[in-house]
A and B are shown apart, each in its own frame.
Chain A
Amino acid sequence: MGMTMTQKILAQAAGLEKVEAGQLIEANLDLVLGNDITTPVAIREMDKMTVKTVFDKDKIALVMDHFIPNKDIKSAENCKCVREFACKHDVTNYFDVGKMGIEHALLPEQGLTVAGDVIIGADSHTCTYGALGAFSTGVGSTDMAAGMATGKAWFKVPSAIKFNIVGKPSKWVSGKDVILHIIGMIGVDGALYKSMEFVGEGIQYLTMDDRFTIANMAIEAGGKNGIFPVDDLAIQYMKEHSKKEYKIFEADEDAVYDEEYTIDLSTLKSTVAFPHLPENTKTVDEITEDVVIDQVVIGSCTNGRMDDLRAAAEILKGRQCKKGLRVIIIPGTQNIYLQALEEGLIKTFIEAGAVVSTPTCGPCLGGYMGILAAGERCVSTTNRNFVGRMGHVDSEVYLASPAVAAASAITGKISAPAELGL
């Protein structure tokens, strides 16, 4: 019986010839990640440990992104705690105001995540780096503390679901539509404890940004990780961004999968997840009644990259956001912000009546920078639409692609770009 791509990476990291689903292993870690919400808790746990030093100051990444620039005194205290820890342990990859970005947009861009790596992060969307052929998964703060101290983590080797991607998507169909379609199909626990392995000739039509978006939301189907094969595009991305050595793993031909699905990109349509679960999906042409909205958010670790901002700008250019609607656009990192500035996208956004924010997770998790009042509705390119996620318990979040979010910003209701004649 062969191994899946994920199983092969884990076997190598555990120093084993072979692993199988369900096996408990201890793996060496290539990177341990935390943010300003989860790292303070990890630091307090690490203080209880007999090991007082970090295992490798180059293999820890601490990213201040959720509540920065700090929204209040408590969040400032949290960042201060992490800053002092980073300084004390001389952590190489510490990212604070001015150098920061949303962690899962930032780390690949900074070349810290490459194919073959085993990465844990105290943030559920750590699964994003599977887009580059890494095994990466979200954990809690205690796992992060143990990882920082020992450089190891325990895993139960996951079984896998295979998604065979075929066909070529139409103009406005993006990675977000692919992953929302999949979550709608298998449900929010459809991949519980499992890896989601994406293969097939259709992958050539997915940009790296599409793949980051897809891997990012594997957790929204309950997945342990989402992972793509390493093709020329992924290699080119890593060569451009990283000096780290990468290692390519391929699934065995006789690898066993719990389930297999075929996703034909040519048949997909713009897809929206209705409140209050990412699995409550409808294609835009299935939405029969007007869903009038109060706010649009374009950004986050799911959709705050260049492809996303370019798609939004293409739609917003020369148009005006609907009167009374708040449109908030958040580039994922400082570099993305700068690139968007150089390409004239920021000007387009501001001229259309949107606001552009410094990189932050902010509104995605109801932190700040776009909180909803009771009864308000937001179309958002973020990843969760749970009860109260973006603010008041009676507010609503509709998850969509940047193209749908931008088109909706113009019309004031959930809309496909086609409604604007695009």
Chain B
Amino acid sequence: MQAKGTVFKYGDNVDTDVIIPARYLAIADKKELAEHCMEDIDKDFVKNVKPGDIMVANKNFGCGSSREHAPMVIKESGISCVIAETFARIFYRNAINIGLPIIECVEAAREIEAGDVVEVDFDSGIIYDRTKGTQYQGQAFPEFMQKIIKAEGLINYINER
């Protein structure tokens, strides 16, 4: 499983309120909801994002509310992988449970810049920055989580059991 795309870069503590503001949480339709992804910190994100693109941020990505709408709108907007130094724990769980690939890697998160073309190999956990010609070893998932990811989410995993 691989991802390849252009990077959108953010800083520390990107919270779920900026990923998807609560004023839109009553919207049930995923596509309509995703039109507001990141708008409070990057109003051009939705306009510029293309399917396959990659989001990179620093520490504690996804902190705050437990809203699953946050990883949902990131996935819906076309992002193929989120790379961060660390993720807030509920976001981490939610991303795995809904099948949004995420990967923790301190060096990659610090060095990769907006606009770089980045490729991620999920099996090996290796992150390649094709623009800079660098590569990084990301944190591999424990086997149990890999099973959930392979099943494309917790619900399928439970159904298959």
A148-171 at interface with B (beta carbon < 8 Å) = 149-150, 154
Is B144 touching A24 in the complex (CB atoms < 8 A)?
A: yes
Q: How far is the CB of B80 from chain A (nearest CB, A)?
A: 20
What 5 pairs across the A-B complex have the smallest Cβ distances?
Answer: A74-B26, A140-B94, A140-B68, A189-B60, A142-B97
Is B68 touching A41 in the complex (CB atoms < 8 A)?
A: yes
Does residue A235 face the partner (Cβ distance < 8 Å to B)? no
Interface residues of B (CB under 8 A from A): 13, 15, 17-18, 21-23, 25-28, 40-41, 59-60, 63-69, 71-72, 86, 88-90, 93-94, 97-98, 142, 144, 153-155, 158-159
Q: Which residues of B contact A189 (CB under 8 A)?
A: 13, 59-60, 63, 86, 88
Is A366 touching B64 in the complex (CB atoms < 8 A)?
A: no
CA distance A12 to B105 in the complex (A): 34
> Beyond A49-B158, A75-B26, A146-B154: 7 further Cβ-contacts under 8 Å?
A37-B22, A51-B158, A67-B26, A140-B94, A142-B98, A142-B154, A145-B155
CA distance A66 to B71 in the complex (A): 20
17 residue pairs A–B, Cβ–Cβ below 8 Å: A49-B159, A75-B26, A77-B28, A138-B90, A139-B94, A140-B93, A140-B94, A142-B68, A188-B60, A192-B88, A219-B90, A366-B22, A367-B22, A384-B15, A386-B17, A387-B15, A388-B40
Q: Which residues of B contact A66 (CB under 8 A)?
A: 25
Q: Which residues of A contact B159 (CB under 8 A)?
A: 48-50
Does residue A141 face the partner (Cβ distance < 8 Å to B)? yes
Does residue A320 face the partner (Cβ distance < 8 Å to B)? no
CA distance A126 to B66 in the complex (A): 10
Q: How far is the CB of A166 from chain B (nearest CB, A)?
A: 29
Q: How far is the CB of A160 from chain B (nearest CB, A)?
A: 14
Determine the main DSSP class of A at the interface with B.
Answer: loop
Q: Which residues of B contact A384 (CB under 8 A)?
A: 15, 17, 64-65
CA distance A367 to B22 in the complex (A): 6
Given contacts A24-B144, A192-B60, contact A386 B90 (CB under 8 A): no
CA distance A303 to B23 in the complex (A): 22
Q: Which residues of A contact B98 (CB under 8 A)?
A: 140, 142
CA distance A48 to B159 in the complex (A): 9
Residue of A122, A367, A386 touching B18 (CB-CB under 8 A): A386
CA distance A123 to B65 in the complex (A): 7
Q: Which residues of B contact A181 (CB under 8 A)?
A: none
Is A393 touching B17 in the complex (CB atoms < 8 A)?
A: no
Please give me the residue from chain B that is nearest to A73 by CB atom: B26
Interface flags for A50-66 (1: CB within 8 Å of B; 0: not) read 11000000000000001
Q: Which residues of B contact A192 (CB under 8 A)?
A: 60, 86, 88-89
Q: Which residues of B contact A139 (CB under 8 A)?
A: 66, 90, 93-94
Q: How far is the CB of B59 from chain A (nearest CB, A)?
A: 6
Does residue A143 face the partner (Cβ distance < 8 Å to B)? yes
